[in-house]
Amino acid sequence: MKDTYPMPFKGRVEIDVTWHDGKTRGKGHGYIGDKAVIFGVFVRGSKIILKMVKSRWAEDVKAFFKESVRDDAGAIHTDEWVRYIGIGDHNTHNETVNHATEKYARGDVKTNGIENVLRLFKSLDTGTFHHISIRNLDAYFDGLERRFNNSENPHIFRDIITKLIGSKPIEFRQLTA
């Protein structure tokens, strides 16, 4: 039931990463080895995409950028995480903010939009749903994307009902497979 919207994105694009789940004991607070890597893309005044990526290594990060952001995007705004080095090209430059020095915006360069979206996802996990399993992340991403990307649609309720009426029933075993 995933909505379709122009992919990849162009314009001023904000990108950020977060980690989800993973409870390995005895590894310390900063251990991320068993956590899901979640990337978010936010086009200002437009749409979002959330996606779980295989790993936090540079080749997976760059593959996500390639499928999510057009070559002629105006700019890619990120923080200064080392994995973002080299994501820009001659058409699209990567502009960064330095969170380590508590600089969260530099003129029009900021990542506040995508950080707010990722914070919204985290609040769904801890507040509304209490725990989102890694295997169900895509379904929760779809729901959050649909609500966010259609927030200006005055006919959203009608559109969802129309889709539901026209869709095939799903048995519980298919839903939980």
Instruction: Give the Å distances, CA to CA, from 70 to 1, 65, 120, 171, 176.
Output: 24, 8, 26, 38, 35
Domains annotated for the chain, with CATH where assigned, are 12-175 (3.30.420.10)
Give the tens place of pLDDT for each residue, 102-127: 878 888 888 888 998 888 888 877 76
The more confidently predicted of residues 176 and 112 is 112
Give the tens place of pLDDT for each residue, 22-53: 666 666 656 666 678 888 989 887 789 888 88
